[in-house]
């Protein structure tokens, strides 16, 4: 590691891999934000055709904007010492911007578009400059300059989308967000100074794993809030009580399936990786899908508890079945990242859900959720059976094994 001015901000090897109290405080804003995302998904669930597709697209875009803010903050606290005052100021400032985005999110594609965009740009453009200034002469400042430059390049799309006609907002913001994600994947390349090799970054891998596990639990906690809020707000009936119980069991199964072996070994895998940045990048993408799947599943809970024996609506299957399907897809990916293999039990569950989905279009919502819970229970039982037959495994991730290359002074 290159020493020099600003080096005191770098996270030392002796730093704790656990999330700091400040980061847990930061997550409170995202508890609220994820609730807003779930409610917005629920608001479009009753639509059909183009209205449904457009509503889902808008909500997905807003979620991905929030996720980018959370992910960048997690990487910052994995690379820099969170106990330093300037990093704490950055995290608290980001928390406030995230709270503004969450407050405006229900109408962010309508009349509250400007404050949402300004809060997003304040984090993406201004925050890296603050970190670069704090790093002073340290070579890592070039990463922050790259990020800020790319974010500034897409800022006109965000602002024109916020201030312009409503019809242009979705395509302009989608283009801007796509560039922001692509730039991150490419390492924010710039002329003369090149790109930052994100996969080669020196980070606290155990800390990054801890944060990914925590955001999954936060999303799962949001689903529990939905279950409780919807059931307590509706008139009592035996059907709603049964839907409440099945929804809770489904969330418990999602927790069990995630942490069984692979999810529980994420910290070990990132701690052992010779290039934790590479495995951390893959894990971040996987957890994007996992968190999104839990939010979508929570909307299914809301629909079923509200109308357990209502008329079958094929569009509801996007939430009741689509959320768990997306979760199993992401969990298969996580299994590969940790062990280098594809999970047979999760593939069985995935195929089973896809096969029964056409029939569920004619079932009541309660029946659909019950089948989903049964398939997830089958996956859990197959996992438990396999665990009894084999000793505990160590992580054997095929990602991040290579020798750290010439990372330069930015790594």
- List the CATH number of the domain containing 249: 1.20.1410
Whether residue 301 contacts residue 226, with contact meaning beta carbons closer than 8 Å, is answered with yes
Q: Residue 135's closest CA among 97, 81, 95?
A: 81
The tens digit of pLDDT for each residue in 360-375 reads 988 889 999 999 999 9
**Does one domain contain both 116 and 23?**
yes
Residue 342 has pLDDT above 80, yes or no: yes
Rounded to whole angstroms, the Cα distance separating 169 from 300 reads: 28
Please identify, among 196, 220, 251, the residue that sits at the C-terminal boundary of a domain: 196
Q: Write 356-364 long-range contacts (CB < 8 A, 24+).
A: 357/317, 357/321, 360/317, 360/320, 360/321, 361/312, 361/314, 361/317, 362/312, 363/312, 364/308, 364/309, 364/310, 364/312
**Least confident piece of the model among 145-154, 229-238, 276-285:** 229-238
Residue 2 has pLDDT above 80, yes or no: no
Residue with the bigger pLDDT between 394 and 261: it is 261
**Does one domain contain both 155 and 303?**
no
Whole-Å CA distances, 299 to 30, 176, 296, 321, 401: 17, 27, 5, 11, 39
Portion of the chain with pLDDT greater than 70, in percent: 93
**Does one domain contain both 219 and 156?**
no
Asked, for residue 3, whether it belongs to a domain, the answer is no
Residue 64 has pLDDT above 80, yes or no: yes
Q: Residue 252's closest CA among 301, 285, 288?
A: 301
Rounded to whole angstroms, the Cα distance separating 179 from 173 reads: 10
Asked, for residue 408, whether it belongs to a domain, the answer is no
Asked, for residue 410, whether it belongs to a domain, the answer is no
Q: Residue 38's closest CA among 370, 292, 278?
A: 292
Report the pLDDT averaged over residues 166-186: 94
**Does one domain contain both 133 and 253?**
no
Please identify, among 177, 196, 215, the residue that sits at the C-terminal boundary of a domain: 196
**Does one domain contain both 173 and 216?**
no
Amino acid 380: pLDDT? 93
CB atoms within 10 A of CB 50: 8
- Per the prediction, the chain carries an average pLDDT of 87
Report the pLDDT averaged over residues 248-268: 90
Amino acid 254: pLDDT? 96
Domain coverage including residue 91: 9-196
Domains contained in the chain, number:
2
Residue 405 has pLDDT above 50, yes or no: no
Asked, for residue 364, whether it belongs to a domain, the answer is yes
Q: Tokens at residue 138, please?
A: 């340290």
Amino acid 169: pLDDT? 92
**Least confident piece of the model among 150-154, 178-182, 286-290, 342-346:** 342-346
The tens digit of pLDDT for each residue in 140-174 reads 888 889 999 999 999 999 999 999 888 899 999 99
Asked, for residue 268, whether it belongs to a domain, the answer is yes
**Least confident piece of the model among 59-68, 285-294, 335-344:** 335-344
Amino acid 386: pLDDT? 82
Amino acid 119: pLDDT? 96
Report the pLDDT averaged over residues 268-291: 87
Rounded to whole angstroms, the Cα distance separating 273 from 198 reads: 14
Asked, for residue 16, whether it belongs to a domain, the answer is yes
The tens digit of pLDDT for each residue in 294-316 reads 999 999 999 999 888 888 788 88
What confidence category does residue 408 fall into, taking pLDDT thresholds of 50, 70 and 90?
very low
Amino acid 116: pLDDT? 96
What confidence category does residue 234 fall into, taking pLDDT thresholds of 50, 70 and 90?
low
| Gyration radius of the chain's alpha carbons | 22
Q: Residue 97's closest CA among 121, 75, 77, 79?
A: 121
**Does one domain contain both 225 and 189?**
no
**Which residues is 190 bridged to in the sheet?**
194
Asked, for residue 162, whether it belongs to a domain, the answer is yes
Rounded to whole angstroms, the Cα distance separating 173 from 339 reads: 37
Amino acid 23: pLDDT? 87
Q: Tokens at residue 222, please?
A: 């949001």
Q: Residue 198's closest CA among 138, 142, 143?
A: 143
**Does one domain contain both 312 and 329?**
yes
**Does one domain contain both 131 and 215?**
no
Residue 280 has pLDDT above 90, yes or no: no
**Does one domain contain both 245 and 383?**
yes
**Does one domain contain both 181 and 285?**
no
Please identify, among 196, 216, 239, the residue that sits at the C-terminal boundary of a domain: 196
**Does one domain contain both 139 and 220?**
no
**Least confident piece of the model among 86-90, 235-239, 335-339, 349-353:** 235-239
> What is the per-residue DSSP string for 86-154?
HHHHHHHHHHHHHHHHHHHGGGTTTTTHHHHHHHHHIIIIIHHHHHHHHHTT-TTHHHHHHHHHHHHHH
Report the pLDDT averaged over residues 118-125: 96
Asked, for residue 397, whether it belongs to a domain, the answer is no
Report the pLDDT averaged over residues 71-87: 88
Amino acid 50: pLDDT? 80
Q: Tokens at residue 260, please?
A: 């069984």
**Does one domain contain both 130 and 264?**
no
């Amino acid at each position: 590691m290159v020493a020099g001015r600003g080096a005191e901000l770098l996270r030392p090897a002796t730093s704790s891999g656990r999330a700091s109290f400040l980061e847990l405080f930061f997550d409170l804003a995202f508890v609220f934000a994820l609730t807003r995302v779930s409610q917005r998904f629920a608001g479009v669930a009753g639509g059909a055709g183009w209205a449904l597709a457009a509503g889902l697209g808008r909500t997905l875009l807003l979620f991905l904007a929030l996720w980018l803010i959370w992910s960048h903050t997690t990487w910052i606290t994995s690379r820099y010492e969170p106990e330093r005052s300037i990093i704490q100021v950055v995290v608290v400032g980001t928390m406030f911007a995230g709270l503004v985005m969450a407050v405006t999110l229900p109408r962010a594609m309508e009349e509250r578009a400007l404050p949402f965009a300004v809060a997003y740009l304040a984090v993406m453009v201004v925050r890296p400059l603050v970190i670069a200034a704090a790093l002073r002469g340290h070579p890592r400042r070039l990463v922050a300059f790259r990020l800020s430059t790319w974010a500034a390049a897409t800022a006109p799309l965000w602002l024109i989308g916020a201030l312009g006609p409503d019809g242009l907002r979705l395509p302009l913001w989608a283009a801007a967000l796509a560039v922001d994600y692509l730039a991150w994947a490419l390492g924010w390349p710039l002329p003369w100074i090149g790109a930052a090799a994100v996969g080669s970054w020196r980070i606290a891998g155990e800390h990054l794993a801890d944060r990914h596990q925590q955001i999954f639990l936060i999303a799962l906690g949001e689903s529990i809030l939905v279950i409780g809020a919807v059931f307590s707000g509706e008139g009592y009936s035996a059907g709603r009580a049964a839907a409440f119980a099945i929804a809770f069991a489904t969330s418990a199964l999602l927790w069990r399936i995630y942490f069984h072996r692979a999810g529980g070994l994420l910290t070990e895998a990132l701690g052992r990786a010779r290039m934790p940045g590479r495995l951390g990048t893959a894990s971040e993408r996987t957890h994007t899908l996992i968190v999104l799947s839990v939010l979508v599943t929570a909307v299914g809970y809301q629909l079923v508890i509200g109308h357990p024996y209502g008329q079958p609506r094929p569009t509801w299957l996007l939430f009741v079945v689509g959320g768990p399907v997306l979760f199993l897809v992401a969990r298969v990916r996580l299994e590969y990242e940790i062990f280098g293999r594809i999970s047979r039990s999760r593939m069985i569950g995935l195929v089973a859900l896809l096969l029964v989905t056409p029939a569920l279009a004619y079932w009541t919502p309660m029946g659909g959720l019950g089948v989903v819970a049964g398939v997830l229970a089958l996956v859990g039982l197959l996992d438990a059976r396999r665990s009894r037959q084999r000793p505990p495994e160590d992580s054997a991730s095929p990602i991040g094994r290579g020798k750290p290359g010439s990372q330069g002074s930015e790594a």
